[in-house]
Amino acid sequence: MSELETRNCTLRLSAQNVAEPCPRDLCVFWEPGGAVVDAACGLERLALDVRRPDVAAYLLELRERLDQEREVGSNSKGGSR
């Protein structure tokens, strides 16, 4: 198993002190990568200090809201994007 597969979500760990495996491509902050860069967490690429609990909590809430919206959009027939 690679390092990416075993990493925990830094947001969840910082905001709630809970170890959650990184959801990778299921997370709205995940960047799939391509020919130039490897797949990775977009927040880590930006070098945001997500170890601050207030920042982590805000970004985690944003992630959860965006995940909900994405789920609603994918469940609705004819939903536009």
36 assigned to some structural domain: yes
For residues 81 and 73, the model is more confident at: 73
48 assigned to some structural domain: yes
**In DSSP terms, which residues pair with 8 in a beta bridge?**
21
- Residue 4 confidence (pLDDT) above 50: no
- Is residue 53 within 8 Å of residue 15, measured between CB atoms? yes
- Residue 9 confidence (pLDDT) above 80: yes
3-state secondary structure of 53: helix
12 assigned to some structural domain: yes
21 assigned to some structural domain: yes
Question: What is the total count of domains within the chain?
Answer: 1
70 assigned to some structural domain: yes
- Is residue 52 within 8 Å of residue 14, measured between CB atoms? yes
81 assigned to some structural domain: no
Tens of pLDDT, residues 21-79: 999 999 999 999 999 999 999 998 998 888 899 999 999 999 999 999 988 887 875 55
Q: How far is C-alpha 19 from the chain's CA centre?
A: 14
80 assigned to some structural domain: no
Best CA proximity match to 61, nearest among 11, 3, 9, 1: 11
- Residue 6 confidence (pLDDT) above 50: yes
- pLDDT for residue 31: 94
25 assigned to some structural domain: yes
- pLDDT for residue 1: 43
Query: What range does the domain containing 29 cover?
Result: 3-75
